[in-house]
Amino acid sequence: MNPAVHGVGTSHFGRRPGTDLVSLAWDAVSDALADAGGGPVDAVWVGTVFAPAGVAQRVLRAMGITGIPVVTVENACASGTTAFAEACEAVRTGRYGRVLALGIEQMSAAFDGAITPERTDPEGATGLALPALYAMAATRYLHDGAVTREQLAAVAVKNHAHALHNPQAQYAGRYTVEEVLASRMIADPLTLLQCCPTSDGAAAAVVAASSGGVREVGVRGIALRSGAPWGRRSPHVWGHDVVRDTAADAYAAAGLHAATDVDVAEVHDAFTIGEIVTTEALGLAAPGEGGKAAGTGVTTLGGTHPVNPSGGLLSRGHPLGATGLAQVAEIVRQLRGDAGGRQVDGARIGLVETMGGGVSALDGNACVVAVLEAP
Amino acid sequence: MTVADPRPRIASGPGGSGVVAGVRCQACAEPVAYAWPACPACGGPIAPAEFGPGGVVWSATVVRIPVAGRTPPYALAYVDLDDGPRVLAHVPGGAAPAVGTRVRLRADAPGGDPQVEVAP
């Protein structure tokens, strides 16, 4: 059976340390179920990274979703998209008829500031905070002449401006390249406005077989991979190859001839360099051209390949486990023509990409790429 | 709560320098900075191997945010050890060395972190 997204929902994203997880989840799930026309679900996949043990059952019982299979998955920043991929696969194979995928995260309850590096990981124990991992990629791109500091900043300018049209975004604003570069240095060369914020939020999708409904968004292809060993064996920066390879799987599953057939994309921009590397790895930009694409407006709303119309992780916010499903929700709204002031006109093919994780010597813990199609 | 130290083990090398005591795959020759039970690239059998002390900076940064147990700012580099793996190392002095800089692993770095200094 061909899976389709029948409903999506998202909470507001932001720092909400006093908010109950039940309330966060309800905002997303109630919207998604209502959007899907109500009714029960047969199973639930939940993506989260730092939420307390038992969070899935704790939030679901509060809304009467009990006595069915509930599976919690952790795949770093791709946890929500992993839950979505599993929901799609469960429907495709006929294992379940109607599946809820939920992503939930309350980062403000887990960390005072940036994510604490994992002390059981070699590089985490050596002090490699996540901004530093991306900073290494940015430094290398600058050295190789593959990006300029201004092009890095242009990604932040673009995504913060996109979020002005997204009422659920954590923050938004019209910044200049100069303002982005002048913000506080976090890990050279990445400044504060080039880093995603600490976020709380939830997002959900209801997946069931396609029945040709006018609001159903088809899942043409979806793929999931863990990273291969990364080091000097790859000529690319961290996080490039896993995105390239997962995208190749997803494009093949979707029968997509070229990435440039994609009308709108939501990609993993936890840091500005991440969006640049990812647009190249996905084939939305030629190798070494991702920075130029951001700097010249190619990836801006109204450009030929709009990327992160929601504001992306940088501006919508990045509650890790919820992020993937927030991306799915955005692409579903875009493909239905429901995206308001951030609508990509006539979007027919949408792409979701999430990758993440800081496990040493791996090119990312996980990557998910999905190709969705308008009703 | 005690956890095993996951960082690469640094052994004494020539002239007061350090070497990473890791393993090399006997099937595909992949160098690995850790004493893992099998090759991460192909799953093949491994044998102990030492890497360094020399290497080249692949990339570097300076961390300027608070990190648990650390005092910012501090410089980190990914170093491609000669004929060896890419390892994460601290660089004393607070400045990030340029990409391509020749560095040398130290044997006796404080705190047990891998640490490199610019090669003389």
A112, A116, A126: best to mutate for the B interface, most B CBs within 10 A: A126
Q: What is the pLDDT along chain A (375 residues), one digit of tens a residue?
A: 899 999 999 999 999 988 999 999 999 999 999 999 999 999 999 999 999 999 999 999 999 999 999 999 999 999 999 999 999 999 999 999 999 999 999 999 888 878 889 999 999 999 999 999 999 999 999 999 999 999 999 999 999 999 999 999 999 999 999 999 999 999 999 999 999 999 999 999 999 999 999 999 999 999 999 999 999 889 999 999 999 999 999 999 999 988 989 999 999 999 999 999 999 999 999 999 999 999 999 999 999 999 999 999 999 999 999 999 999 999 999 999 999 999 999 999 999 999 998 899 999 999 999 999 999
Q: How far apart are the CA of B30 and the nearest CA of chain A, in angstroms?
A: 9
Q: How far apart are the CA of A189 and the nearest CA of chain B, in angstroms?
A: 7
* Rounded Cα gap, residues A335 and A215, in angstroms: 9
A181's tokens: 């570069």
Cα angle A189-A192-A197, degrees, rounded to a multiple of 5: 130
* Rounded Cα gap, residues B116 and B38, in angstroms: 27
Residues of A in contact with B3 (CB under 8 A): 119-120
Cα B67 to chain centroid, rounded: 20
Terminal Cα distance for chain B, rounded: 41
Closest CA in chain A for residue B100: A143
In which residue are the tokens 């509060």 written? Answer: A62
* Rounded Cα gap, residues B40 and B27, in angstroms: 12
B65/A187 CB distance under 8 A:
yes
Q: What is the CA radius of gyration of chain B?
A: 15
pLDDT at position B1: 66
A190's tokens: 């990445």
B67/A119 CB distance under 8 A:
no
B63, B86, B115: best to mutate for the A interface, most A CBs within 10 A: B63
Residues of A in contact with B8 (CB under 8 A): 122
Does A196 qualify as catalytic in the annotation?
no
Q: Helix H segments across chain A? A: 21-35, 55-61, 79-92, 107-110, 122-125, 130-143, 149-162, 177-182, 240-254, 272-282, 290-295, 312-315, 320-336
Residues of B in contact with A113 (CB under 8 A): 65-66
Listed in order, strand segments (DSSP E) in chain B are: 9-12, 18-25, 31-32, 46-51, 54-63, 74-81, 86-91, 102-105, 116-118
Residues of A in contact with B66 (CB under 8 A): 113-114
Q: How far apart are the CA of A123 and the nearest CA of chain B, in angstroms?
A: 7
CA distances for A65 relative to A44, A68, A216, angstroms: 9, 8, 23
- Pairing state between β A349-356 and A264-266: parallel
* Rounded Cα gap, residues B104 and B120, in angstroms: 9
A58's tokens: 């704790």
What does the domain layout of chain B look like in residue ranges? 9-118
> Which CATH topology does B9-118 take?
OB fold (Dihydrolipoamide Acetyltransferase, E2P) (2.40.50)
Q: Which domains does chain A have, with CATH numbers?
A: 3-111+199-370 (3.40.47.10)
Residues of B in contact with A136 (CB under 8 A): 58-61, 76, 78
Residues of B in contact with A135 (CB under 8 A): 61
> What number is the ipTM of this complex?
0.97
Interface list for B 47-66 with A (CB within 8 A): 58-66
Which residue in the set B34, B58, B67 is minimally distant from A129, CB to CB? B67
Q: How far apart are the CA of A186 and the nearest CA of chain B, in angstroms?
A: 5
Q: Which of A160, A196, A318, A367 is catalytic?
A: A318
Which residue in the set B5, B59, B64 is minimally distant from A125, CB to CB? B5
Does B91 touch chain A if contact means CB atoms closer than 8 Å? Answer: no
Is A33 or B15 the better-scoring residue by pLDDT?
A33
What confidence category does residue B108 fall into, taking pLDDT thresholds of 50, 70 and 90?
A: confident
Q: How far apart are the CA of A217 and the nearest CA of chain B, in angstroms?
A: 38
Chain A, chain B: beta-carbon pairs less than 8 Å apart = 108
* Rounded Cα gap, residues B72 and A177, in angstroms: 26
pLDDT at position B2: 78
pLDDT, tens digit, for every residue of B58-92?
Answer: 999 999 999 988 999 999 999 999 999 999 999 99
**Average per-residue pLDDT in chain B?**
95
pLDDT at position B114: 97
* Rounded Cα gap, residues A178 and A156, in angstroms: 11
Does B5 touch chain A if contact means CB atoms closer than 8 Å? Answer: yes
